[in-house]
Each structure stands twice: as structure tokens, then as C-alpha cells.
Amino acid sequence: MKTVLGEVKEHLSRAWQNPTIRKRVGWGLGIFLVLQLYFVRELIAAELLFGMLFAFLMALAGLFYVVGTIGVNGRVWAEAGVRVVANSARRGYSALEEISKKPFRHPHSESAR
């Protein structure tokens, strides 16, 4: 009694003796390996493309986040800037007011005739 595995081995060894079958199996394995290499290269290329797409989307989301943060905090920053400008303007105005109260000529000077 032969087992199924023994029968398969015997059948394959008889088929392997035929040179045309060996040649076809060799060609089939070669084509299979080439297709596997091509498939792997295509997968790597697709992964790189998707990686670039996700990097672009992440940069876009980061840009939107920065613009949103500037929009939210912009009023606070503008208010601080306005305070600085208002204080400077107030000091400048009071300094000009002090200068304008002083006479241009000394009180005891005589005009040149």
C-alpha cells in the first residue's frame, strides 16, 4: 500500500525526467520570480507616493493649524501692540505739550533790530 504522498512523489519524479516539462517548469519559475520582483517594486513605488501624499496633507493641516492659532490669538497680540503704541503716543503727546508751553525766546532777551 502506497500513501498518497508516495504516489505524488513517484508521479513527480517520472514527470521530472521529461526535458520539456523541466524546461517549462524552469520558465514558469523564472517568470514567477520576475513578476514577484515587479510586484514588489510597484508596491514600493505606491508606498512612496502615498507617503508623499500624507506628508503633503500633514503639512497642509499644520498650516491650517498655524493660521487658526494666529486668528485666535491675533486679537490678544493686537491688543498688546495697541497698548504699546497708545502709551508711546500718550508720552509723545505730553512731551510735545511740555515743549509747546516753553517760550521760544528767553524772557529777558531783546530782539535784534
Whole-angstrom Cα Rg for the chain: 45
Predicted local distance difference test score (pLDDT) of residue 67: 93
The x, y and z cell numbers of residue 38, run together, are 515587479
Predicted local distance difference test score (pLDDT) of residue 34: 84
Predicted TM-score of the model (pTM): 0.44
Predicted local distance difference test score (pLDDT) of residue 22: 84
Predicted local distance difference test score (pLDDT) of residue 113: 59
What CA–CA distance (Å, rounded) separates 58 from 64?
A: 10
Predicted local distance difference test score (pLDDT) of residue 108: 66
pLDDT in tens, 24-71: 888 998 888 888 888 888 989 999 999 999 999 999 999 999 999 988
Q: Report CA-CA distances (Å) from 109 to 41, 98, 99, 100, 104.
A: 97, 21, 19, 19, 11
What CA–CA distance (Å, rounded) separates 40 from 34?
A: 10
What CA–CA distance (Å, rounded) separates 64 from 68?
A: 6
pLDDT score of 9 more than 90: no
Residue 104 pLDDT grade (very low, low, confident, very high; cuts 50, 70, 90): low
